[in-house]
Structure 1
Amino acid sequence: MDLREFKRLTGEIMVTAYAGIAVFADVVLLIFKMLYYVVESIFWLIFPVEEKNVSGEVVLITGAGHGIGRELALQYATLGAKVVCWDLNENGNKETAEEIKKINETASVYTYRCDVTNREEVIRVAAEVQRDVGDVTILVNNAGIMPCHTLMDHTPEEIRKTFDVNVIAHFWMLQTFLPSMIKKNHGHVVALSSMAGIAGLPNLVPYCGSKFAVRGIMEAIHLELRDAMLPKQLNIKFTCIYPYMVDTGLCKKPKMRFPTLFSLVPPKTAAAEIVKAQRRNVQEASIPSVFFHINNIFRNFPDKVPLLVRDFLDSGVEAD
Structure 2
Amino acid sequence: MADGKEIGLMILRLLVGLLYTVYCMLEALVLTLIPRRYRRKNIKGNIALVTGGGSGIGRLMCRQLAAKGAIVVTWDVNEAGNLETVRQVVEKGGQCRAYTVDLCNRHAIYSTATRVKEEVGKVDILINNAGVVTGKNLLDCPDESIIRTFDVNILSHFWTTKAFLGDMISRGKGHIVTIASAAGKFPCNRLVDYCSSKYAAVGFDDTLRLELMAEGHTGIKTTVVCPVFITTGMFEGFQSKYFPILKPEYVAEEVVDAMLLNTPVLMLPYTLKINLLLNLILPQKVLLYLSNVLDITHSMDNFVGRRKNQ
Q: Which residue of 1 aligns with 2:308?
A: none
Q: Which stretch has the larger CA shift, 86-95 or 219-228? A: 219-228
Is the CA contact (8 Å cut-off) linking 1:62 and 1:143 kept in structure 2?
yes
Indicate the SS of the match to 1:245. Answer: coil
Give runs of aligned pairs for residues 114-263 of structure 1, distance below 5 A.
Answer: 114-229=101-216, 234-258=218-242, 262-263=243-244
- Give the CA deviation at 1:117: 2.1
* Paired position in structure 1 for 2:58: 69
8 Å contact from structure 2 (residues 40, 260) kept in 1: yes
1:277 to 246, 253, 258: 258
Q: Does the aligned pair in 1 maintain the 2:228–2:244 contact within 8 Å?
A: no
Q: Please give the secondary structure, in 1, of the residue aligned with 2:123.
A: coil
Query: 1:177–1:306: structure 2 CA closer, same or farther, 3 Å change rule?
Result: same
Q: Deviations over 1:89-114 (max 9, x none)?
A: 1110110111112222xx21111111
- Measured in 2, the distance between the counterparts of 1:194 and 1:24 equals 38
**Aligned-partner SS, 2:281:** coil
Q: Which amino acid aligns with 2:275?
A: I
Structure 2: gaps (5+ residues): 305-310
Deviations 1:48-107 (A, max 9, x none): 551111111110000000001000001111111000011111110110111112222xx2
1:90 lines up with 2:79 in the alignment: yes
Aligned residues, how many? Answer: 298
Contact 1:241 1:285 in 2 (8 A): yes
Aligned to 2:275: 294
Compute the displacement of 1:221 (Å): 1.2
1:317 corresponds to which residue? 300
Structure-2 separation of matches of 1:45 and 1:310: 32
Residue 91 (structure 2) pairs with residue 102 (structure 1): yes
- Once the 2 structures are TM-superposed, how far is the Cα of residue 17 of structure 1 from its aligned partner? 4.9
Measured at CA, do residues 117 and 32 of structure 1 come closer, stay the same or move farther in structure 2, by a change above 3 Å? same
Shift of 1:317: 2.1
Which letter maps to 2:203? G
What one-letter code is carried by the residue in structure 2 that aligns with 1:29? V
CA distance in 2, matches of 1:78, 1:94: 18
Alignment TM-score, normalising by the size of structure 1: 0.88
- Partner residue in 1 for 2:43: 54
CA-CA distance at 1:194 after TM superposition: 0.6
CA deviation digits over 1:177-214, x for unaligned, max 9? 10000111100000111111110100111000000000
Q: Secondary structure at the match of 2:223?
A: strand
Query: Given the two structures, how large is their TM-score scaled by the length of structure 2?
Result: 0.91
Quick check: 1:193–1:243 contact (8 Å CA) kept in 2? Answer: yes
Are positions 1:303 and 2:290 aligned together?
no
Root-mean-square deviation (CA, aligned residues, Å) is 1.8
2:82 match: secondary structure: helix
Unaligned segments of structure 1, at least 5 residues: 1-14
What secondary structure does 2:215 align onto? helix
2:65 aligned counterpart, secondary structure? helix
State which structure, 1 or 2, has the greater radius of gyration over its C-alpha atoms: 1
SS of the residue aligned with 1:129? helix
Q: Deviation at 1:23?
A: 2.8
Instruction: Measure the CA separation in 2 of the matches of 1:257 and 1:198.
Output: 20
Contact 1:244 / 1:264 at 8 angstroms: preserved in 2? Answer: yes
